Amino acid sequence: MIDAYLTHLAILIGIYSILAISLQLSLGYGGLLNLGHFSFFGIGAYASALLSVEGVPFVICLLFAGMVAAFFGWLLSIATNKLKGDYSALVTLGFSFVVYAVLLNWVALTNGSLGIAGIPRPNFLGIDFSNNLYFLLLVVFIALLSYLFIRKICSSSFGRALESTRDDELAAKLLGKNTTKLKRASLLIAAFFAGISGSLFAAYITFIDPSSFTFTNLIPILSIVIVGGLASLPGTIVATVVVVLLPEPFRFIGFPTSILGPIRQIMYATILLLIIYLKPRGFYGKIDLE
C-alpha cells in the first residue's frame, strides 16, 4: 500500500519535473513569463489521449503530443513577439483561457466537460506499463532525457545567446542577435516538452477533462521554478520534489477533500510569497526575480 503511494508520488514528481524544466527554459533562460505554459501540458494531454484511444502506439502519441504543443508554442511566439514584460504575460494568460474554452466547448473533438476516459496505458517492447512501477521507470527515463536535452541547450552557445536576450534584448540585438528567432525557439522547445509531460500525465491518470488544465494549475509549476531558482535546472528538480511532497501530510490529517485543494493553493501562494520576500533567488537561482 505504502509502496503504491510512494510510486504514485514519484511518477507525479517525474511528470512535473519535465513540465517545470520546460518552463524554466522559457522563463529562467529566455525571460518570458509564460502564463499559458500549462495549456501546452493540456494540449499535449489531449493530443496524446485522442490518438491513444484510437489505438495508436504510445510512442507516436507521445511525439505527436510534443509536436502539437510545439506548434501552439510557435503560434504563441508570433503573438508575443513584439510584446515585453507585463503585456507579453497578459497575452500568454489570455492564451490559457482560450485553450481552456476550446477544450471545454469543442465537444465533438474533446468531449467537453465529460472529458476523455479510458485512455490506455502504454504497452510496447513487450512491457505492459499498467504496472505503476514500470510506468515510473518510463517516466524517469523520459524525464532524464528531457533534463539532459534542456541542460545541453542551456549550456550551449545558443543558451548563452538566449540568456543575453533575457538580460537585455536591445543589447543582444546590437550584437547582431536575431532575438525573435531565439525567443521563438525557446518557446517552441518549452512547449514541446510540456506536451510530452501532458502525454505522460494522460497515459498515467487514464482520464482527462478541461478542469485539469486551467490557469490555476500553473501556480504549483511556477512555484517550483521560483522556489528552485531561475536559470537553475538542478534547483528545479529539487523544488519539484519539495513542492509535490509538501502538501501530502494534509492527506493524513483527515481534512475533507473539498478543502484539500484550496489548502494546496494557499500553501503554494504562501511559498511563493515567502521565497520572493526572503530568498528572491530561490534555492539555487542564478538570477534575481524581478
Partner 1 sequence: MLKIQNLSKKFGGVMAVDNCSFEIETGKITALIGPNGSGKTTLFNLISGIEKPEKGTIFFNGGDITRCSIEQVSNFGISRVFQQSKLFKNLTVRENLLLAIDNEDTKFWKSLLGSNKITEGKETKLKEVLNELGISKIKDKLTSDLSFGQKRLVELARALLNSHHLLLLDEPVAGVNPKIKKDVAKLLLDLKKGGQTILLIEHDMSFTASIADRIVVMDSGGVIAHGSPSEIKNNKQVLAAYL
| Residues found near partner 1 in the complex (CB under 8 A) | 152-153, 156-161, 163-164, 166-168, 170-179, 181-182, 185, 231, 286-287
Closer CB to partner 1, 8 or 173, in the complex: 173
Report the residue number, 122 or 159, with the smaller CB distance to partner 1: 159
Cβ proximity to partner 1: between 121 and 151 the closer is 151
Judged by beta carbon, residue 193 or residue 213, the one nearer partner 1 is 193
- Min dist CB 189 to partner 1, Å, is 8
Q: Which amino acid is at 148?
A: L
C-alpha cell at 221: 509549476
Give 130-180 as a DSSP string. Answer: TSHHHHHHHHHHHHHHHHHHHHHHHHSHHHHHHHHHHH-HHHHHHTT--HH
CB 179 to partner 1: min, Å: 8
Cβ distance to partner 1 smaller for residue 110 or 179: 179
Nearer to partner 1, 212 or 232 (CB): 232
Grid-cell match 502538501, residue found: 247
> Shortest gap between Cβ of 147 and partner 1 (angstroms)?
15
Closest CB 184 distance from partner 1, rounded Å: 10
Give the shortest CB-108-to-partner 1 separation in angstroms. 37
User: Which positions ≥6 away from 232 have C-beta within 8 Å?
Assistant: 24, 28, 282, 283, 284, 285, 286
What is the Cα–Cα distance from 195 to 192, expressed in whole angstroms? Answer: 5
Computed over its alpha carbons, how large is the radius of gyration of the chain? 18
Tell me how far CA of residue 159 lies from CA of 29, 75, 156, 238, 283, in angstroms.
7, 22, 5, 22, 21
Q: Tell me if 19 sits within 8 A of 33, measured CB to CB.
A: no
CA distance 5 to 33: 34
CA distance 62 to 243: 26
